[in-house]
Amino acid sequence: MTDERIFLGFDVGGTKIGIGIVSESGKFIAGDRIENKDTNPDDILPILVEKTNKLLADNNLQKSDIASFGISSPGPADYANGIMTTPPNNPLWRNVPILKYLSDNLGIKGYFENDANAAALAEGYFGAGKGSKDYIYLTMSTGIGAGMVAGGTLIQGNTFQGGEFGHTCLVPGGRECNCGLKGCYEAYCGGRAVAQDLQKKLADKPDSMIVKCAGSVENIDMKALQEAVEAGDEFAVQYWDEMLERNAQALGSLVQTMNPHKIILGTFAWAAGDLFMKPLREKIVKYCWAVSYKGCEIVPSALRRDIGYYAGAAVAMYFENKK
């Protein structure tokens, strides 16, 4: 076996739980996924333990070979105690002490973080943020979550709400956000919010290119918008441009506040590539000082779809290294 430390990670999502075993240099040793849609934690947690034990055994690993495990959890949560409180996409999971359950049943020490922070740590150790001590990762998927690392330290905040940048107000009194506030960054650029807004705007426009790309108004999503933009549809191009303006506004304020070395962008950015990245890089200069932007690279995620295999392990590695 290797002399490197080995970490185990769990990535709890609304439809799946990922298990990943990763070495500290980023070597992917093994992984698995279990279905987690509409599950009861009392049913699924024993299966998770069983699958993990099997994965370790199949890879000739003893419990003592694992330095520790980490959990990447959707918020909101009791972060100090590792309890998932009211995750919106796991309706049956209420006040689940997952950290204690897995520690007790696996016999391995564990750590707990929210999914955006976990993904940021994963990109930092194993992906696009490697070697950087000042960087920000944004999830850019259904919602917009962020993980911020300054001077090598994850910004957790006084009440563990650090990095909830998706709910920074861009437009006072603007679009209603699912969080209850108005004008949040996520309300303009999050996948669910954009889909809802387009569905409303195009409800009586069945001939719209975006509706055609989606198949129906109800199916409109970011992918359909992107396809309509690529096809040169005027409304879609205009909408995309305004959305990128909001992204630039948000990221510009991050650059201005934190002067990061890198901003790493999740799903939409790597899915759309230059169509997303190019206008963003051009527009951002309006929203921050050139001296702050100098040396800041805005890049898509390197781990992409695989990030879930690394996220939990990165949480474990970070807290072990911080000790």
Whichever of 8 and 177 has its CB closer to Zn ion, that residue is 177
Should residue 214 be labelled a site residue for Zn ion when binding is judged by CB under 5 A? no
- Using CB under 5 A as the binding rule, the residues of this chain from 65 to 124 that contact Zn ion are none
Min. distance of Cβ 80 from Zn ion in angstroms? 24
Classify residue 51 as exposed, middle or buried by CB count within 10 Å of its CB (0-12, 13-18, 19+).
Answer: middle
CA distances from 310 to 10, 105, 154 (A): 9, 22, 17
Should residue 184 be labelled a site residue for Zn ion when binding is judged by CB under 5 A? yes
Stretch of residues binding Zn ion (CB under 5 A), selected from 36-44, 168-176, 183-191, 315-323: 183-191
For the CA atoms of 214, 216, 221, 223, the dihedral, rounded to the nearest 10 degrees, stands at 0
Should residue 161 be labelled a site residue for Zn ion when binding is judged by CB under 5 A? no
Min. distance of Cβ 143 from Zn ion in angstroms? 9
Whichever of 26 and 174 has its CB closer to Zn ion, that residue is 174
Do the Cβ atoms of 314 and 122 come closer than 8 Å? yes
Among 57, 80, 92, 179, binds Zn ion (CB under 5 A): 179
Among 154, 177, 214, 265, binds Zn ion (CB under 5 A): 177
Instruction: Kindly state the DSSP code that residue 89 receives in the 8-state scheme.
Output: T
CA distances from 213 to 27, 141, 206, 210, 218 (A): 39, 19, 11, 5, 12
Should residue 144 be labelled a site residue for Zn ion when binding is judged by CB under 5 A? no
Per-residue string for binding with Zn ion, 29-48, x by CB under 5 A?
A: --------------------
For 16, the token pair is: 């799946």
> How many residues are there in the chain?
323
DSSP tally for the chain: helices H, then strands E: 12, 12
Stretch of residues binding Zn ion (CB under 5 A), selected from 179-187, 281-289, 290-298, 301-309: 179-187
Stretch of residues binding Zn ion (CB under 5 A), selected from 163-171, 190-198, 225-233, 296-304: 163-171
CA distances from 50 to 43, 57, 102 (A): 12, 11, 11
Min. distance of Cβ 171 from Zn ion in angstroms? 11
Stretch of residues binding Zn ion (CB under 5 A), selected from 37-45, 160-168, 258-266, 278-286: 160-168
Should residue 21 be labelled a site residue for Zn ion when binding is judged by CB under 5 A? no
Min. distance of Cβ 316 from Zn ion in angstroms? 30
Number of residues that bind Zn ion (CB under 5 A): 5
Instruction: Kindly state the DSSP code that residue 140 receives in the 8-state scheme.
Output: -
What contacts 52, CB < 8 A, 6 or more positions away? 8, 19, 106
**Cβ-count burial 184-211 (b if 16+ within 10 Å, e if not):** bbbbbbbbebbbbbbbeebeeeeebbbb
Whichever of 21 and 184 has its CB closer to Zn ion, that residue is 184
Min. distance of Cβ 178 from Zn ion in angstroms? 6
Among 30, 47, 181, 237, binds Zn ion (CB under 5 A): 181
What contacts 165, CB < 8 A, 6 or more positions away? 136, 138, 144, 145, 146, 148, 185, 250, 254
Per CB under 5 A, residues contacting Zn ion are 167, 177, 179, 181, 184
